[in-house]
């Protein structure tokens, strides 16, 4: 067949998530908590103010106001979309100039940066993280300073390693890159409590990415957003479609924000569970667990990670294999959200390690 679309698409694969469906989904960093019962009264009140037969609703500006207030920035500095992924995708759309354009990212990092870059006809060049999962900031700067580099990415805390980058490295990097967007992915911000939001005033090219999928227990909602300077947000808005986020999604996101304390309280439990599990895993021989500032833990099971993953699955527990990058050889990642799942995970691991 002759190409009827862009030639480079022809050899690409469509995005697809391949994880098993298990009783305990501990593989996608989701929440165990169903948000519907928590927000249903607010949601139905908001729906009464919204007409689904219309394109526009006042709830959009209300949501924009609430979101900006939650972030502590003016309304013009926030832009929402259908999940952090959708926002990231549109940053690639806005950043790409020509076939030579590429983005840079440390590796291993969030898998889908490459997916979205390729979708818009851009490449990603990777710099391997150091052994301690930090990054070599001078080498990264050299890559980002290439004239064909149109976007520099940092994920903080990083998925799948779970760690925060050193603040001084991030600041040093941001200070030096002035002429292109810097995408700083803070999807796990509420678990790490570390943000570079205050840098936006000095660095209008800095774009933070956040999500409702993790902290707000709403992965299926598909709601995420960018925080940046007014100028960058104005440019990003130009690559979105006119009516880009369904009013139903906006209504639910607003209902979550009106009840945000319920979710933020749950985060404290997740952090405590994560820290307890980390300590427990550290005490198990046959496992090397890495510190995390997120809602997941990555860990190494030398030579036996596939075997362990299959064993867990037989017990109804799905974890993620993150072993493709050499730095994470033999590694799995487990999402942490509720005690019941964590206890089942510990029981299954203990039994496995005894075999
Ligand atoms: C680092 C990172 N960025 C972005 C996303 C996508 O988030 P969303 O569900 O809001 O699209 C994820 C999801 O796992 C992630 O880990």
The predicted-structure confidence for 278-305, as pLDDT tens digits, reads as follows 999 999 999 999 999 999 999 999 999 9
Residues 246 and 286 in one domain: no
**pLDDT per residue over 220-266, tens digit each?**
999 999 999 999 999 999 999 999 999 999 999 999 999 999 999 99
CA of 192 to the centre of ligand 1 (A): 15
Residue 284: give its domain's CATH number. 3.90.1150.10
Q: How far is the centre of ligand 1, averaged over its atoms, from the C-alpha of 211 (Å)?
A: 7
45 in any annotated domain: no
Other C-beta atoms lying within 10 Å of the C-beta of residue 280: 16
User: Looking at the structure, do residues 186 and 251 belong to the same domain, yes or no?
Assistant: yes
Please say whether the beta carbons of 318 and 20 come within 8 A: yes
81 with 108, same domain? Answer: yes
146 and 207, same structural domain? yes
pLDDT tens for residues 321-346? Answer: 999 999 999 999 999 999 999 999 99
Q: Residue 29: CB within 6 Å of ligand 1?
A: yes
Do 241 and 162 share a structural domain? yes
The partner residues of 211 in beta bridges, in order of sequence, read 224
The confidence band for 23, taking pLDDT boundaries of 50, 70 and 90, is very high
For residues 210 and 186, is the Cβ–Cβ distance under 8 A?
Answer: yes
| C-alpha 219 – ligand 1 centre gap (Å) | 9
Residues 70 and 205 in one domain: yes
With a 6 Å cutoff on the Cβ, whether 92 touches ligand 1 is: no
> pLDDT grade, residue 355 (50/70/90)?
confident
Strand partners, 2: none
Q: Would 41 be classed as within a structural domain?
A: no
Average pLDDT over the chain, rounded to whole? Answer: 97
**CATH number of the domain that 72 lies in?**
3.40.640.10
Q: Does any domain span residue 294? A: yes
Question: With a 6 A CB cut-off, is 334 part of the ligand 1 pocket?
Answer: no
Q: Residue 26, Cα to own-chain centre: how many angstroms?
A: 16
In Å, what is the CA distance from 142 to each residue of 34, 152, 177? 45, 11, 10
| Domain membership of residue 153 as a residue range | 53-258
Sign of dihedral through CA atoms 12, 15, 18, 19?
positive
Distance CA 12, CA 282 (A): 40
Q: Are 180 and 95 in contact (CB under 8 A)?
A: yes
Q: Which atom of ligand 1 is nearest to the CA of 219?
A: 9
Alpha helices in 283-354 (DSSP H): 305-314, 339-354
89, 161, 211, best to mutate for ligand 1 pocket (most atoms within 8 Å of CB) = 211
Residue 3 is predicted with a pLDDT of 85
pLDDT for 53-106, tens place per residue? 999 999 999 999 999 999 999 999 999 999 999 999 999 999 999 999 999 999
Contact 188, 157 (CB under 8 A): yes
Q: How far is the centre of ligand 1, averaged over its atoms, from the C-alpha of 48 (Å)?
A: 31
The residue out of 258, 291, 314 marking a domain boundary is 258
* Most informative mutation of 35, 110, 217 for ligand 1 (most atoms within 8 A of CB): 110
287-315 burial: b if 16+ Cβ within 10 Å, else e: bebbbbbbbbbbbbbeebbeebbebbbeb
pLDDT at 1: 66
In this predicted structure, the answer to whether residue 10 has a pLDDT above a threshold of 70 is: yes
As a whole-number percent, the residues of the chain with pLDDT over 70 amount to 100
Atom of ligand 1 nearest to the CA of 224: 10
Cα pseudo-dihedral 265, 268, 274, 278, rounded to 10? -170
- Hey, how many other C-beta atoms are within 10 angstroms of the C-beta on 180? 16
pLDDT at 253: 98
Residue 1 placed within a domain: no
Ligand 1 atom at minimal distance to the Cα of residue 87: 11
Our answer on whether the CB atom of 154 is closer than 6 Å to any ligand 1 atom is no
Which one of 258, 288, 307 terminates a domain? 258
Which residue's alpha carbon is nearest to atom 16 within ligand 1? Answer: 159
Is residue 354 over pLDDT 70? yes
pLDDT in tens, 100-131: 999 999 999 999 999 999 999 999 999 999 99
Q: Residue 2: pLDDT band by 50, 70, 90 thresholds?
A: confident
Residue 268: is it exposed, middle or buried by C-beta count within 10 angstroms (0-12/13-18/19+)?
exposed
Tokens of 269: 């439990």
* 143 and 292 both lie in a single domain: no
Interhelix angle 137-144/167-176, rounded to 10 degrees, is 30
Residue 246's nearest CA partner among 66, 77, 81 is: 81
Of 213, 236, 258, the residue at which a domain comes to its end is 258
Distance 85 CA to ligand 1 centre (A): 6
For 78, phi and psi rounded to 5 degrees?
A: -125, 140
Provide the domain count of the chain: 2
Is ligand 1 within 6 A of the CB of residue 135?
no
């Amino acid at each position: 067949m002759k190409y009827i679309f862009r030639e480079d698409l022809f050899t690409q694969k469509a995005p697809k998530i391949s994880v098993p469906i298990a009783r305990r989904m501990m593989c996608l960093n989701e929440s165990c908590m169903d948000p519907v019962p928590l927000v249903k009264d607010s949601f139905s009140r908001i729906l009464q103010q919204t007409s689904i037969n219309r394109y526009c609703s006042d709830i959009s500006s209300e949501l924009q106001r609430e979101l900006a207030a939650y972030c502590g920035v003016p309304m013009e500095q926030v832009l929402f979309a259908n999940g952090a992924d959708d926002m990231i995708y549109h940053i690639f759309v806005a950043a790409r100039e020509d076939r030579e354009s590429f983005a840079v990212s440390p590796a291993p990092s969030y898998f889908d940066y490459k997916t979205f870059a390729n979708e818009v006809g851009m490449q990603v060049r990777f710099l391997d993280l150091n052994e301690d999962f930090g990054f070599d900031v001078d080498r990264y700067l050299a890559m980002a300073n290439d004239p064909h580099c149109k976007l520099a990415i940092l994920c903080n805390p990083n998925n799948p390693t779970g760690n925060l980058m050193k603040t001084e490295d991030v600041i040093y990097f941001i200070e030096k890159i002035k002429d292109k967007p810097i995408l700083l992915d803070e999807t796990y911000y509420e678990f790490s409590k570390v943000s570079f939001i205050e840098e936006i005033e000095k660095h209008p090219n800095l774009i933070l990415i956040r999500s409702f999928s993790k902290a707000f227990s709403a992965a299926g909602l598909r709601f995420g957003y960018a925080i940046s300077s007014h100028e960058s947000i104005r440019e990003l808005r130009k690559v979105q479609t006119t009516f880009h986020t369904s009013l139903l999604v906006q209504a639910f996101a607003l209902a979550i924000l009106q009840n945000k304390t319920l979710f933020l309280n749950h985060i404290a439990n997740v952090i405590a569970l994560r820290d307890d599990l980390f300590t427990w895993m550290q005490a198990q021989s046959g496992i090397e667990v890495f510190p995390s500032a997120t809602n997941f833990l990555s860990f190494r099971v030398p030579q036996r990670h596939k075997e362990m993953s299959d064993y867990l699955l037989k017990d109804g527990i799905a974890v993620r294999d993150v072993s493709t990058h050499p730095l994470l050889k033999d590694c799995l990642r487990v999402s942490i959200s509720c005690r019941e799942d964590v206890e089942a995970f510990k029981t299954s691991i203990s039994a496995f390690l005894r075999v």
